[in-house]
Amino acid sequence: MKEYQTDPFKGTFGSLENLADKISDVLSCPVTIEDQNHRLLAYSTHEDSTDPARVATIIGRRVPEKVVNSLWKDGVIPRLQESDDPVRVSSIQKVGLGDRVAVSIRKNSEVLGYIWVLEVEKKLTADDMHLLKLAAVSAKSQLLQMQIGTKKKEENRQELFWKMLTGNLPHEERILEKLHELNILPVLPAVVFILQLQEEVTPALEKDILYLAAVNQKINVLLSAADSNQMLLLASPVGKEQPLDLAKSFVESFFTHMKERFSVSEIKAAYGSLVTSFTQVEKSYKEASSVLAVQEKLGGETLSLTGYHELGIYQFLDTIYEKQQRQGYQNEMLKSLQEYDRLHKTELYHTLETYLTMDENLNKSSEVLHIHMNTLLYRLKRIGEITNIDLKSPHQKIMIYLDFKINRLF
Amino acid sequence: MKEYQTDPFKGTFGSLENLADKISDVLSCPVTIEDQNHRLLAYSTHEDSTDPARVATIIGRRVPEKVVNSLWKDGVIPRLQESDDPVRVSSIQKVGLGDRVAVSIRKNSEVLGYIWVLEVEKKLTADDMHLLKLAAVSAKSQLLQMQIGTKKKEENRQELFWKMLTGNLPHEERILEKLHELNILPVLPAVVFILQLQEEVTPALEKDILYLAAVNQKINVLLSAADSNQMLLLASPVGKEQPLDLAKSFVESFFTHMKERFSVSEIKAAYGSLVTSFTQVEKSYKEASSVLAVQEKLGGETLSLTGYHELGIYQFLDTIYEKQQRQGYQNEMLKSLQEYDRLHKTELYHTLETYLTMDENLNKSSEVLHIHMNTLLYRLKRIGEITNIDLKSPHQKIMIYLDFKINRLF
DNA sequence: AAAGCATTTGTGATAATTCACAAACGTTTT
DNA sequence: AAAACGTTTGTGAATTATCACAAATGCTTT
């Protein structure tokens, strides 16, 4: 096994720029150094090509908001903050991020900043990773000397929101403190909304949606963030009506407003359950996400279900699925149908799903399937023979219906 | 506060009988002392009335099997074994057990026996409890002197089975050892069966059922136990067919056999899922129990569901219920129906449940409900108005159906 | 190419359901 | 007591679902 190299980053470099260049030389990759607020401190003058995220960072002297959000969402930042080991980040096309490796610069448990290494022309080896760790130590002394690290962490609204959304702020008091610092009134109960367009949420659109929420008067927005084509809101319903009814009417006004610009099918909206403490924001966000997942995977009538509480049985599909997985359950009937379909090039599986989804209405189902009613009748008889499903048993039908939907969702 | 009394059980008593009498004197209650295998060692000659369990214990020189089983099932024995504090056991009518307090006699972590105090005419006070603890210490020296405590614990089949059923033997190797000691071949996979009669399972019936299982050849019984009106089996299906199919045919043969003696509705049977290790026996037992619970609470078509794997959607009702509880979910529609019924003395709730259970068949439902078909039609229209349930939406119907069943089960 | 099979479509008869409407009944309200 | 209301039952017609059967199609097997 190779011996550890001597530390090439020993001694002082005069400036962080020099250190960045040195790291870049040693690793043969472009390097950027940021402070704990993701503001650019230094970057290497590596001649190689780079990626859009790095360009935007250098131009704006700060890592773009959407890149930071994306890194929070994927749990990269928490991982960096927890350990002084380098973390590899696979490219995230949506935010223009190429493959790269990052390491935190830390003094004990306090994070002073980050070093990012772009893997444009080579992948870092295990040895490189070790070198990068040494570089972080060197950067630490540099930062401390320059007294950059002593600057208090300035958290902005977006970052706070993402921490709440991803569950990286599990202490209610600390959240309340930070909300206070940011001059946000901690109004509860609150709900997390996801408003999803087909295109990128531009700052203009963002402003527009917030304006809409303000004039709508149904909800009071505490925090907001744009996440590619989604706009996320943490808001508190205000008024005499049921809080969740207020949430629904806000969503509806959002729909009518957006209809003028986009076709209806392109925009979607969802919200989670009402939370009574800010530590539950992650839960509400996850619930809103699962509403969107149901809408996208199941379509149809589910498109009108925007609140998690409206999901009905769809709320429990994941729970049921998990239990099925644990028990190694398989729906034999549906499997035999699929097997039959494969062998005979028929569509019994789809036929049965449509029939059940169409409330067992022969007319509607045959219409949707573009087949003669007698064909449907014949197929149903056939399905009964093949699977011995008893279509007169609600108990059996329900299990099959749910398994159809579970198969779509997972 | 009262000072601690001096220890009245200091010194030797010559025999355990003397100690039992002394304890009985001090506490003014009948006392029995058992070894770790629940064999009678001594009992007080207290003149007071006693209970059937104690009489049977004294007559048989051992605590009756069913009493021991019941104590295992309620977790009393494990609690006694884990701590040297006295445990109070409320009366268990089924096995003739009156209120009593027990304490384990132990040498370090090893249990040598138990002292039982019947609370026939007085309840033990906190001071009495403390005295009982001192008595256990005295009993310990007595037992060790008599070298009774050094006898190796002889576990019998029943006790082993109950430990497995209650999850008090979480180590596979130890179970295998014990099975070996008892000359039982550890055949896997296995299933837990519960066969339930309306009357007590007598030794004669027990023998009869085991004989039936033997001649039936579908399953190989490893362990069995009678528990009031239930007979529990741990058995391994043998044959070329699917193991669970074999389980079902055994149950069917059990039914046909028992029909000769009892009416069909009086006997029930259920079995859990196939386990591949003996540590999962508890799970299979719980599953079989939940099948029985479904049969008893829901009746109807569920009576023909004997295997846990056949439960279909009923398998998930507890999971769904738990999640609902966590979220504070309430089915508003059903609640408003019940409210309406209460105010107007109608039966819309029951009407809807019957209609859905009868597969939305107007004829059958109106017949079962003893009402005119148009009345049913009218009620359904009314239900739609009151609850805005859309009976054309499978999604809504399913949620409501499940909530009906959940309301019955929990 | 012919036969066999599963599937689809069409026709017509029959059964079940839904709907509209009216009358009767029982409670509660005025 | 009359009126109002919700409920039940009855009648008949319109709609829808189900069944039996025949014919046609397409595919595989022989």
Write out pLDDT tens, residues A138-189.
Answer: 888 888 877 654 555 556 788 899 999 999 999 999 999 999 888 899 999 9
pLDDT of residue A233: 95
Tokens 């050094």 found at: B150
8 A C-beta contact, residue B221 and residue B191: no
Rounded to whole angstroms, how far apart are CA atoms A104 and A136? 7
Query: Which CATH class name applies to A320-409?
Result: mainly alpha
pLDDT of residue A388: 82
pLDDT of residue A183: 81
Chains A and B: how many Cβ contacts under 8 Å? 62
- The total number of residues shown for chain A amounts to 410
Amino acid (one-letter) located at B337: L
Rounded to whole angstroms, how far apart are CA atoms B136 and B86? 10
- The total number of residues shown for chain B amounts to 410
Q: Give me the sign of the Cα torsion angle A371, A377, A380, A382.
A: negative
Peptide bond connecting B243 to the previous residue in cis, omega within 30 degrees of 0:
no
Closest residue to A398, CB basis, from B327, B360, B401 = B401
Kind plus residue range of the DSSP H or E element containing A102: strand A100-107
8 A C-beta contact, residue B112 and residue B37: no
- Beta sheet of B268-271, edge-to-edge order: B219-227, B230-237, B191-196, B268-271
8 A C-beta contact, residue B257 and residue B237: no
Tokens of A149: 């690290």
pLDDT in tens, chain B (410 residues): 444 557 788 777 777 888 888 888 888 888 899 888 788 888 887 666 778 888 888 877 888 878 888 888 888 888 888 888 899 988 888 888 888 999 999 888 788 889 999 888 788 888 888 999 888 888 888 888 776 545 555 557 888 999 999 999 999 999 999 998 888 999 989 999 999 998 888 888 888 888 888 878 899 999 998 888 999 999 999 988 889 999 999 999 999 888 877 766 689 999 999 999 999 999 999 999 999 999 999 988 899 899 999 998 999 999 999 999 988 888 988 999 999 999 888 999 999 999 999 999 999 999 999 999 999 999 999 998 888 888 989 999 999 999 999 999 99
Residue A38: phi, psi to the nearest 5? Answer: 65, 30
Instruction: Give the Å distances, CA to CA, from A191 to A234, A248, A271, A368.
Output: 6, 11, 7, 37
Residue B335: phi, psi to the nearest 5? Answer: -60, -45
Q: Spell out which residues of chain B touch residue A401, defining contact as CB-CB under 8 Å.
A: 394, 398
- A336 pLDDT higher than 70: yes
- On average, the pLDDT of chain A sits at 87
Tokens 């966590």 found at: B326
Q: First-to-last CA distance in chain B?
A: 45
Under an 8 A CB cutoff, do B399 and A356 touch? Answer: no
Residues 309-368 of B with CB under 7 A from strand D: 340, 344, 346-347
pLDDT of residue A259: 82
Which residues of B fall below an 8 Å CB-CB distance to A?
273, 301-302, 309, 312-316, 319-320, 323, 327, 329, 356-357, 359-360, 392-396, 398-399, 401-402
CA dihedral B136→B139→B141→B143, nearest 10 degrees, is -130
Of the candidates A234, A178, A231, the one whose C-alpha atom is nearest the C-alpha of residue A203 is A231
In this structure, of A58-62, A268-272, B180-184, B373-377, the range with the lowest mean pLDDT score is A58-62
Rounded to whole angstroms, how far apart are CA atoms A16 and A33? 8
pLDDT of residue B151: 54
The CA–C1' separation of B283 and C25, in angstroms, is 56
Residue nearest to nucleotide D20 (CA to C1'): A374
Under an 8 A CB cutoff, do B316 and A323 touch? Answer: yes
**A190, β-bridge pairs:** A275
Instruction: Give residue A48's pLDDT band: very low, low, confident or very high (50, 70, 90).
Output: low
Amino acid (one-letter) located at A312: G
- A47 pLDDT higher than 70: no
The CA–C1' separation of A395 and D12, in angstroms, is 36
8 A C-beta contact, residue B199 and residue B229: yes
Q: Spell out which residues of chain B touch residue A244, defining contact as CB-CB under 8 Å.
A: none
Tokens of A222: 């505490």
The CA–C1' separation of B340 and D3, in angstroms, is 24
Under an 8 A CB cutoff, do B395 and A315 touch? Answer: no
Of the candidates A351, A330, A349, A333, the one whose C-alpha atom is nearest the C-alpha of residue A389 is A333
Fold of A157-310: Alpha-Beta Plaits (3.30.70)
Cβ of B374 < 7 Å from strand D? yes
B110-118 vs B87-89, strand pairing mode:
unpaired
Tokens of A62: 């700060």
Task: Count CB neighbours of A253 within 10 A.
Answer: 17
Give residue-wise pLDDT tens across range A96-145: 888 899 999 988 878 888 999 988 878 888 888 899 988 888 888 888 87
Of the candidates B38, B35, B54, the one whose C-alpha atom is nearest the C-alpha of residue B46 is B54
> In terms of CATH architecture, what is B323-409?
Orthogonal Bundle (1.10)
Give residue-wise pLDDT tens across range A201-255: 888 888 888 888 887 889 999 999 888 899 999 999 998 888 999 999 999 999 9
Under an 8 A CB cutoff, do B323 and A316 touch? Answer: yes
SS3 B113: strand
Of the candidates B222, B234, B250, the one whose C-alpha atom is nearest the C-alpha of residue B306 is B250
Closest residue to B320, CB basis, from A316, A329, A399 = A316
Rounded to whole angstroms, how far apart are CA atoms B30 and B121? 10
Write the DSSP symbol of residue B357: H
Q: Give me the sign of the Cα torsion angle B167, B168, B170, B172.
A: negative
Residues in contact with A96: Cβ distance below 8 Å, sequence separation at least 6, in sequence order: A51, A52, A53, A56, A67
Amino acid (one-letter) located at A140: K
**B269, β-bridge pairs:** B195
8 A C-beta contact, residue A157 and residue A30: no
Residues 331-390 of A with CB under 7 A from strand D: 361-363, 373-374, 377
The CA–C1' separation of A345 and C7, in angstroms, is 11
| Comparison of pLDDT for A288 and B56, the residue scoring more | A288
Amino acid (one-letter) located at A39: R
Query: How do the domains of chain B map onto residue ranges?
Result: 16-145, 157-310, 323-409
- DSSP string covering A277-314, please? SGGGHHHHHHHHHHHHHHHHHH-GGGGG--BGGG-GGG
Residue B2: phi, psi to the nearest 5? Answer: -65, 140
3-state helix, strand, coil in chain A (%, to 5): 55, 15, 30
Tokens of B112: 């040598």
- A3 pLDDT higher than 50: no
Cβ of B375 < 7 Å from strand D? yes
Under an 8 A CB cutoff, do B314 and A395 touch? Answer: yes
Rounded to whole angstroms, how far apart are CA atoms A216 and A213? 5
Q: Give me the sign of the Cα torsion angle A371, A373, A376, A378.
A: negative
pLDDT of residue A322: 94
Cβ of B371 < 7 Å from strand D? yes
8 A C-beta contact, residue A144 and residue A51: no
The CA–C1' separation of B389 and C14, in angstroms, is 33
The CA–C1' separation of B369 and C29, in angstroms, is 30
8 A C-beta contact, residue B51 and residue B97: yes
Fold of B16-145: Beta-Lactamase (3.30.450)
Instruction: Give the Å distances, CA to CA, from B315 to A329, A393, A403, B310, B396.
Output: 11, 16, 13, 8, 20
